[in-house]
Amino acid sequence: MIPQYTSALLISDIHLTPSMPLTAQRFFDFCEKDAPQAEVLFVLGDLFEYWVGDDTSLQSPFQQEVQHALANLSTKIKVYYLHGNRDFLIGPSFLKKTGMTLLPDPSRIDIANTQYVICHGDALCTADVGYQVFRSWVRKPWIQKLFLSLPVHWRRSVANQMRTNSHAQYQRAASASSALNQVRTNVTLEACAAVTRDLEVVNLIHGHTHLPAHHREQLRDQTWQRWVLSDWDLDHPESTLPRASALLINSQGVRYKDLIQHESD
């Protein structure tokens, strides 16, 4: 059954963590004030900076606060969630407590009588062969079961080490060749063409790359439109401009909705 609604908001890459309090507060405000204005919310992955098991929420007041915000929102509108590359271990327990419904990646949806394919976006970055091999392994159920059997502090240590290595690798690649690195870590035309062709849809929405934009693309005789969702970061003005937006779809079409609260708001 394809989800069908008249209006929707889509967000991705919020990367919620206690160390980014301004971003977290904007998310809580979004759940309370902005999201209920639409009929449905789609969260396309990386809701958290990392997730090492549903059992960790019992030990985290911050995760409990996020859970409460989502549970409250789910009493007002329908909320769907897709796994991201940072929080693919979110499981049935957390989903049940928040009221979110898990969708497979990719999924087809119908908003205002137009069909879209939605996904997190990391599977579309097929030029990054090393990451795709890593992704195929960590998505295996037996690997996840083994990891989740470890003590919580071990899991957190592994996650932190992986984040540190990933950031260091990104910095080295960016300094060596920023153009080449962007090509390697961005989606490919071939992957986008394949997913839109397989699901028979000409509109694609994803996150992951942190490069929000609307694209009209073509590969041979196939054409499609692609919208990229923004990541959220309101806590590092010294290194990047504040970012927070959602994609709004209704009978009037598709547009980006600025969620940054300016002083005049």
CB neighbour class for 168 (10 Å; exposed up to 12, middle 13-18, buried from 19): exposed
pLDDT of residue 183: 66
Q: Are the beta carbons of 116 and 103 closer than 8 angstroms?
A: no
CA dist., res. 146 & res. 217, Å (int): 41
Q: How much of the chain is helix, strand and coil, in % rounded to 5? A: 40, 25, 35
Q: Tokens for 259, please give them.
A: 């969620």
Domain count, the chain: 1
The answer as to whether 37 is a domain residue is yes
| Phi and psi angles of residue 122, each rounded to the nearest 5 degrees, phi first | -65, -30
CATH number of the structural domain spanning residue 23: 3.60.21.10
The answer as to whether 173 is a domain residue is no
The answer as to whether 172 is a domain residue is no
Mark out the alpha helices in 46-177 (DSSP H runs). Answer: 61-74, 92-98, 129-138, 141-148, 152-176
> Mind listing the pLDDT tens digit of every residue in the chain (265 residues)?
788 999 999 999 999 999 999 999 999 999 999 999 999 999 999 999 999 999 988 788 999 999 999 999 999 999 999 999 999 999 999 999 999 999 999 999 999 999 999 999 999 999 999 999 999 999 999 999 999 999 988 898 888 887 776 655 555 554 554 555 566 779 999 999 999 999 999 999 999 999 999 999 999 999 999 999 999 999 987 777 889 999 999 999 999 999 987 544 4
The answer as to whether 153 is a domain residue is no
